[in-house]
Amino acid sequence: MFTPEGFSARKIEKVMLLALWANELNERLDTKDQKMIFAGLGKPTYPINQRTVESYLNYWQRLNNLAAQWHSCPETAVENPAINYGDPRGDKKPRTIMAERMSQWYECDVRPEHVLFTVGGIGGLRAIFDTFNSHFQDLPGYRIITPFPHYSVYANDPMHQLHPIPVMNNPGYKLTAKSLQESIDLAYELAEEDKGFPKALLLCNPSNPLGNIIDEHELIQIADVLRNHPDLYIIFDEAYAEMSFKPMPSFLKIAPDLKQRVIILRSATKALSAAGERMAILLVFDPEMMNELLNKNINYFIHVPRSAQIAYAETMASFDYQEQRKLSVYYEEKVAYVLNRLAEMGASMPDPCYKVEATFYALGDFSDLFGLPMPEEALQVFQKISVVTTDEDITYYLLFNDAVMVAPLSYFGLEKDSGFMRITCSATKSELEELMNRLEQRLIHARQIKKETLVKIISEQLSSLKAQDPHVHELITAKLTPHTSLSTNSKQLKVQLNALGQIKAFVEDCIALMK
C-alpha cells in the first residue's frame, strides 16, 4: 500500500493511512458539491467541558498576574512566575484531587501515590507496553490476552503478541468468563511450543470498536478466573468510561483482593472532548510496577504539562452524574439514529442481541459490497485493481466512490472477509443523515447488481430443468417470480437476495438429483 505522496505505507498504522487518504481526497473535493464525510476516526463533537476551560484560564491568568508583578518590581514579587519542572508523577494537588474523584468513581480507596499523569491514552499504553517489554525481556513474544476485535493501537508493539478472546462468537459480542478461561487455556497451550507465556489481560471497557460494556455478573466470574492465574496483570483501558449509557460496574469494588495486579487507563481524549490536549492518567496499585511505569513516563515526557494536570483533575472533580448524563445522551441519540438506519437498510450486525451501550461507535454489515469492481483511483493505494474481496477494499471503495470514510473491523483484529465496518456517530444530524444516505444508495446499487446476476443464473438453470421436470420447473418459477420485481428499497433487496440464494441452491440440488 502507498501514501497519497506515493511512498510505501508499510510502517504506517492502517487507520492513520486511511485518514491520510481521506484528507487528500477531501482537498480534491473542495471545488465539487460532494464533501468528504469522516466517520472512520474517533472524533468528539460534544463541547469541551467548561470546567476544563475555566481551569486553564485560571492557571494562565494567575501566571500572567505574577509575571506582571515581577516586571513591575522583581524584588517584591511573592512568587517567581517561571514554570519549573514539577513532580514526574504529576503535581501533588492534581494527583490528590484525581485520587479523591477516582475513589468515588470506583468505590474503593485510591490514593495520590496510585495516580500517574501521562500524555494521552496512547502515551499511557506506550508506557504500559514498554514497561512490560522490559519486565518480560526474557520472554520475547509474551502474550497479552485481549478480546477481538480490539483497539488497533494494541497491535502496534512488536515485542508482545496479542492473544484473542473471540467475543464475536458470544451473544451480543460480549466478553464472558467462559470465553476468557478458554482463551487463557489456549494461550498456555501455545506457549508450551513458542515460550510466549501470557502475562497480562487487557480489557477495553467500554469496548472500542464494539461499544459494549462488560456485564457485572461476568466481571464477578472473570475475577474468579483471574484468581486462578496470579501471574496475569489486569489492565483496564477505560478511555470511554464517561461515555457509558448505563452504569458501569467497578472491578476494584468487585475484586478488591486483585487490586495490586490492576492497572487502569483513563483519558480525557474522547469523553471530555480534549483530544488535542493529551490528558490521561494511569491508576497503579503495585508500588514496584508504578516505579517502572514512572521511569518509562519520565523517559518519554518527563511529566505532563502542569496546566493539563490541574485542568484534568478539576474537570473530573466536577464531573457529576448530571454532566455525565448530558454527555451520554448527546452521543446515545446519534448512535441510535445510525443503528436505526442500518436496520432499515438491512445492514445491521448479524447478532440481534448486539447493542451499543457506550462510546459513539456503531457497527454495520456491508458484506453485500463484496464482488464489486474496485475504482480505478484505488490503483494509487494498492498498485493493483481488482474486485472488492476484503473489508479494507470496501473501505477504499466507499472512500473513492462515495467520499465516505469508515473503518473496517480487520483494522481491529478481525478477519478481512467479515465485511463489518465501524461508523463514528458524532457528526451533526444532517451530516449523519447524508452519511447514511450515501451508504444506503451504495448498498442498493450493489444489491441490484447481485440480484440481476442471481436471476440470470437461476433462469438459465430453469431452462435446463424445464425439459427434465416441467412440474418442478413450474413450482420453482412460481417461487422465483415474487423476487424478480423491481425494488429500490435496500432492506427489501436484502430479503430478495437471501430468497434468491436459497432458490438457486434448491435448483442446483434438483439438477444434481436428476443427473
Q: What is the pLDDT of residues 169-210, one digit of tens each?
A: 999 999 999 999 999 999 999 999 999 999 999 999 999 999
Q: What's the predicted TM-score (pTM) here?
A: 0.94
Which backbone phi and psi does 214 adopt, to 5 degrees?
-70, 125
Give the tens place of pLDDT for each residue, 468-511: 888 888 888 888 888 888 889 999 999 999 999 999 998 888 88
Which residues have CB under 8 Å from 201's CB, separation 6+? 144, 145, 146, 180, 226, 232, 233, 234, 235
pLDDT along the chain (515 residues), means of 10: 91 92 88 84 94 96 92 84 93 98 98 97 95 93 97 92 97 98 98 96 98 98 98 98 96 98 95 90 98 95 94 96 96 98 98 97 98 93 90 97 97 96 98 98 97 92 81 85 88 94 88 77
Q: Answer yes or no: are the C-beta atoms of 117 and 86 closer than 8 Å.
A: no
> SS3 helix, strand, coil % of the chain, rounded to 5?
55, 15, 30
The burial class, CB within 10 Å (0-12 / 13-18 / 19+), for 41 is middle
C-alpha closest to that of 391 among 412, 420, 362, 363 = 420
Which residues have CB under 8 Å from 340's CB, separation 6+? none
The residue extents of the domains of the chain are: 14-46+323-428, 50-320, 442-514
Paired sense of beta strands 160-166 and 262-267, if any: unpaired
Domain 50-320 has CATH 3.40.640.10: yes
Q: What would the grid cell of residue 76 be?
A: 517584591
Give start and end residues of each alpha helix (H) in 239-364: 251-254, 287-301, 306-318, 321-344
CATH of the domain spanning 14-46+323-428, picked from 2.30.30.90, 1.25.40.10, 3.90.1150.10, 3.30.230.10: 3.90.1150.10
Paired sense of beta strands 361-365 and 115-119, if any: unpaired
Show the 3-state SS of 18-33.
Answer: HHHHHHHHHHHCCCCC
Kindly list the distances between the CA atom of residue 240 and the CA atoms of 107, 193, 206, 357, in Å, as whole numbers in the listed order. 18, 37, 6, 11
Strands (E) across 238-278 are located at 262-267
C-alpha to C-alpha distance for 185 and 420, rounded to whole angstroms: 28
Cα atoms found within 13 Å of the Cα of residue 483, Cβ hemisphere only? 28
